[in-house]
Chain A
Amino acid sequence: MRLSKSRIIAAKDFKTFRKKKNIIYSLVVVPILIAVLIPGVIGYVALSAKNTSRMSPAELVVLLPAFLFFYVILGSYLSTPIASYTIAGEKVEKSLEPLLATPTTDSEILLGKGIAAFFPPLAAVLGGSALFMLLMNLATKGKLGYYYFPDWNSAIVILLLLPLALLMSVQMNVIISSRVTDIRSGQQLGGLTILPFAGLYVAGELNLINLGDTSNLLIIAGALVVVDVLLFFVSRATFRREEILTKWK
C-alpha cells in the first residue's frame, strides 16, 4: 500500500467538499455553537446562583467531564456527511470506474476516503473542544476557585477516545456508503454510528457508568481499538471492485 496514492485521493476529496457549503458550515458552526452555549448556560446559572447551593463545586466536577463526551458524539456525527459524500458521491457521479482503472489498489482508495472523512471532523472537534474548555474554565472559575480543564481524564477523552471513536464512525460510514446506492441513504444509515457514543453518554448521565473514572475511560478506549482494527478488515473485505461496478447502477 502506497500512502502517497491515498493522500492524492484525500486531497482531491478535500478540494471537492470544500465547495459543499453545508458540510463546511456544519464542521465550523456546530462545534463552536456547543463550545459557546454550554459554558454560557453554566456560567449564567452559576452566577445567578452565587450564594445558593445550586451548581455546587461537587455538582460541577461531575457535569464537566460528561460534557466533553458531547465532542466524541459530535465527531461521529460530523464524519457521516463527509464519508457518504466522498464514497456515495463517486457512485452518483459514476467516477469510480475510471478511478478503479488507474493503478491504485482498493486499500489505497479506502484509506484515501478514510483520511478525507477523518481529519476535517477531527480538526473541527479538537478546535471546538479546546474552545469549550477555555470558556468553561472562565465560566466556572468563580465557583470552583481553579481552572478545571485540562485534567488527565479530559486529555484521555479528547486525545484518545475522540480520535478512536471518530475512526470507528468513519470506517462504519465507509462500509455503509459502499453498500448503499445514494448519498441520502448513506447519510441516514451513517447517522446511526453516533448511537454507541450517545448510549455511553446517557449511561454516564444515568450513573450506570462513571465517565469521570480514568480506568473506565481506558477500558472504553481499549474496546474501541479492537473494534477499529476489526472494522478495517471488514471494510477491506466489503469493498470489492467488481461488485461496486456491476451492482451500482
Chain B
Amino acid sequence: MIETESLTKRFGGLTAVDNLTLKVNDGEVFGFLGPNGAGKTTTVRMLSCLISKTSGEARIAGYEVGKEADSLSIRKLIGFVPDNVGLYDDLSAYDNLDFYGKLYDCAEAQRKENIQRFLTMLGLWEKRDVMAGTFSKGMKQKLAIARALIHEPKLLFMDEPTANLDPESAKTVRDFILELKKEERTIFLNTHNLDEAQRICDRIGILRTKLIATGTPQELEKALSSGGGTRKTVVLLQEQATDAILAGVRKLPAVGSVTAEGNKLEVALGDPEKQNAAVVEAIVKAGGHIQSMTIVGASLEDVYLKLVKEGGGS
C-alpha cells in the first residue's frame, strides 16, 4: 500500500526525515514510533501530499507521491487524522462530517449511512446536532477520526490519535482501530505510546529522523534479546525451590542461568514464549507446584529506549 525509497525532507538546514525506506502492506496496522521531533508528522504530511518531499520516492497504491497528476488520486484514497483535530467549531458534529463527505463526492445516501455508522461506533450519535466547538478533547478526537473515514478510505493516516485522551477514550479509539483492521483497511499510526503500538500494530517502525528498526513487536523484542540475552522467566512456587527442581530446570538445553531465592526462581531464556512449557514440565516433574510465571526483560519499551538512544548517538 505504501512504499517509500530514500524519502527525505529538509526544512532549510534541518533534516526532518532522512532516507526513509519503508514498506507498509495492504490491510496492515503499521505503528510509527519515535520521540518528539523524530519526523513522524512530517512523514505523514509528505505521504498525504500536504507538503513536498525534498528527495527520494514514495508510492501509495501505485500512485507517485509528489507527482501533480497523482496527488488528487492519492488524496481520494486516503483518510487523514491530523495531530490537531481542525474541526469547524461552529458546525454541528453531523455537519462537519457531511461537509467532508461532500468534498469526497460521496452520494447523499452513503454520507448519511456512514455518518450514522461511525458516530454510533464512537459513541457520538446522540451528540450529532451539537456544535463541535463544545465537545471535549476526546469527543473532538473521535469526531476527527469519523471525519477521516467518511469516504471509506483504503488507507488511513492517524497522527497520535490517542494523545491527550483519558484511558477510557483511548481504549475506545484503540478498539475502533481494531474494528477498522477487520475491515481490511491499512492504517498508518503515529504514536508515542509503546503499549498501544504493541497491542494494536502488526508491525512497528522506529524513527528518529532515520528509520532505526522495523518489524513485528515480537521480532523487535527478540532482536534485542538475542543480542543481550536479557529475557528471563520468573517462577513463583508454592514451596521453597528445592535442589531437585533447580537441577531439573538447569538440565533443559535452552536455559541459561538459573537462580533461586526462597520460592522464587529466575530462569534466563532465549525465547521464553516457546520454552516456558518445558520449564513448567521440568518443575512439575521435580515435584514443584507453580503459583505463577512472568516473562520479564526486554519489553518493547527496552527495545525502543535502547534503539532510540543508539540512533541518537550516530
Contacts and interface: CB of A to CB of B under 8 A. Distances in A.
A interface secondary structure, majority: helix
Contact of B91 (A15, A20, A241): A15
A98 B144 contact: yes
A102 B72 CA distance: 8
A245 B50 contact: yes
Contacts of B82: 94, 97-98, 101
B51 A242 contact: yes
A12 B91 contact: yes
A16 B91 CA distance: 6
A151 interface: no
Contact of A93 (B48, B51, B86): B86
B72 A105 contact: yes
A100 interface: yes
Interface in B62-96: 72-73, 75-76, 78, 80, 82, 84-91, 95
A55 to B, nearest CB: 48
B87 A95 contact: yes
- Interface hub of B80, B84, B86 (most chain A Cβ within 10 A): B86
B104 A95 contact: no
B102 interface: yes
Contacts of B147: 98
Nearest to B131: A19
Contacts of B49: 101
Contact of A101 (B80, B85, B105): B80
Interface string A136-153: 000000000000000000
A8 interface: yes
Given A102-B100, A103-B104, A93 B50 contact: no
Interface string A205-249: 000000000000000000000000000000000000110011000
Contacts of B50: 97, 100-101, 241-242, 245
A245 B51 contact: yes
Contacts of B45: 245
Contacts of A96: 86
A19 B89 CA distance: 11
Contacts of B90: 16, 19-20
A9 B95 CA distance: 12
Interface in B133-186: 144, 147-148
A101 B71 CA distance: 10
A97 B86 contact: yes
B84 A97 contact: yes
Contacts of B52: 242
Interface of B: 11, 45, 48-52, 72-73, 75-76, 78, 80, 82, 84-91, 95, 99-100, 102-105, 144, 147-148
25 contacts: A5-B103, A8-B102, A9-B103, A12-B88, A12-B91, A12-B95, A93-B88, A94-B84, A94-B86, A95-B87, A97-B50, A97-B82, A97-B84, A98-B86, A101-B48, A101-B49, A101-B75, A101-B78, A101-B82, A102-B75, A103-B104, A103-B105, A104-B103, A241-B51, A246-B51
Given A19-B90, A95-B86, A101-B50, 8 more contacts: A8-B103, A95-B87, A98-B80, A101-B78, A101-B82, A103-B103, A241-B51, A245-B45
